[in-house]
């Protein structure tokens, strides 16, 4: 049992394992310096109101539900798998490799004759997501012989049992192991979750909501850039017409009243086409810069 701090601070669970590096990066962009030591489960964070503790994502929701920690980051899949009664503060669309939702898929070797889940009746399924997999087959009335827990390297076991249920983001690992997906049993994204009692505490609730705002802002900024430029006032209508319709730029008058300074946030993917068009339309001194947070 982790000893609770006597001072009134918010205890936050940081996921150890596949989400660890991307979580540290997310906190940094949100304005927090989170430092993790290889030999400690207690990262340091430069906010005296926060105390960080590391747990595996698989067990995070249980510790949040029990009040061992006030708030934590984990996948929707493990909340469902553990049947945890927690408050879902917000969705955080980031993961180990991409921003795509992770999928738990039912897969068999390419050479297998199995094409549908029903053909697995009487078979053995290997997975880390045991409870969810059992519910999947039960809800479809498919009686499998056993759903056994896999201690990792689940792809390898696909040739030792009848099928596996494993997590994938890009599908590259499945392809590398010559596995074929026959169904998706669960789609999951990362969530910020909180203990119900912590959410009843006004001070803790505000801190949790502030944290959520900054983390979501960091995620929103991930694929955006800021653009600044000088524009002849006579060319301003032409420049504004080039900008994405949903964007409302900031326009400031310069010392020379015939010129204005314009600043706008745009999607990074449109910047490379937009900048040459802005230059041709009369904008000068154009520069772009990365964003840490975008708060709507």
Task: Map out the domains of the chain as residue ranges.
Answer: 10-98+190-220, 102-187, 224-290
For position 25, what pLDDT does the model report?
92
Architecture of domain 224-290: 2-Layer Sandwich (3.30)
Partners of 227 in the beta sheet? 264, 288
Cα 180–chain centre separation = 26
Q: What does pTM read for this prediction?
A: 0.85
pLDDT > 90 fraction of the chain, expressed in percent and rounded: 79
What tokens were used for 206? 């505000």
What pLDDT score was predicted for residue 246? Answer: 62
Q: Report the C-alpha gap between 228 and 138 in whole angstroms.
A: 57
Arch. (CATH architecture) of 10-98+190-220: 3-Layer(aba) Sandwich (3.40)
Per-residue confidence (pLDDT) for residue 295, from 0 to 100: 87
Q: Quick one: which of 63, 90, 69, 98 has its CA closest to 4?
A: 69
Per-block mean pLDDT, blocks of 10 residues, the chain (296 long): 58 92 93 89 94 95 97 97 97 76 94 95 96 97 96 82 91 87 95 97 96 95 93 96 82 95 93 95 95 88
Q: According to the model, what pLDDT value does residue 17 have?
A: 86
Q: Within 10 A of 51 (CB to CB), how many other CB atoms are there?
A: 20
What integer pLDDT is reported at residue 170 of this predicted model? Answer: 81
Q: What is the pLDDT of residue 123?
A: 96
Model confidence pLDDT, tens digit, residues 49-76: 999 999 999 999 999 999 999 999 999 9
Q: In what order do the strands lie in the sheet with 224-232?
A: 250-253, 259-267, 224-232, 284-290
Give 289's strand partners: 226
Which CATH architecture group holds 102-187?
Answer: 3-Layer(aba) Sandwich (3.40)
Q: Examine domains 10-98+190-220 and 102-187 and report if their fold is the same.
A: yes
Torsion of CA 9, 11, 12, 14, to 10 degrees: 130
For position 96, what pLDDT does the model report? 61
């Amino acid at each position: 049992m982790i000893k609770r701090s006597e001072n009134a601070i918010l205890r936050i669970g940081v996921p150890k394992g596949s989400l660890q590096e991307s979580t540290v990066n997310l906190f940094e962009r949100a304005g927090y310096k989170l430092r993790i030591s290889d030999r400690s489960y207690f990262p340091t964070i430069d906010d005296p109101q926060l105390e960080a503790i590391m747990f595996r994502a698989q067990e995070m929701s249980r510790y949040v539900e029990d009040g061992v920690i006030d708030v934590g980051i984990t996948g929707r899949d493990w909340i469902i798998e553990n049947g945890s009664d927690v408050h879902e503060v917000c969705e955080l669309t980031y993961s180990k490799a991409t921003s795509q939702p992770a999928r738990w898929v039912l897969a068999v070797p390419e050479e297998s004759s199995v094409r549908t889940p029903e053909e697995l009746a009487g078979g053995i399924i290997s997975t880390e997501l045991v409870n969810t997999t059992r519910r999947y087959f039960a809800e479809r009335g498919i009686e499998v012989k056993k759903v056994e827990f896999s201690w990792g390297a689940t792809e390898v076991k696909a040739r030792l049992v009848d099928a596996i249920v494993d997590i994938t983001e890009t599908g590259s690992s499945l392809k590398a192991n010559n596995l074929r997906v026959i169904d998706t049993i669960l789609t999951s994204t990362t969530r910020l979750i909180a203990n119900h009692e912590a959410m009843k505490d006004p001070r803790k609730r505000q801190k949790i909501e502030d944290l959520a705002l900054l983390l979501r802002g960091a995620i929103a900024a991930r694929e955006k850039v800021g653009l600044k430029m000088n524009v002849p006032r006579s060319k301003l209508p032409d420049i504004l017409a080039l900008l994405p319709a949903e964007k409302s730029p900031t326009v400031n008058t310069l010392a020379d009243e015939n010129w204005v300074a314009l600043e706008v946030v745009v999607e990074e993917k449109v910047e490379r086409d937009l900048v040459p068009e802005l230059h041709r339309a009369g904008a000068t001194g154009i520069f772009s810069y990365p964003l840490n947070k975008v708060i709507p």
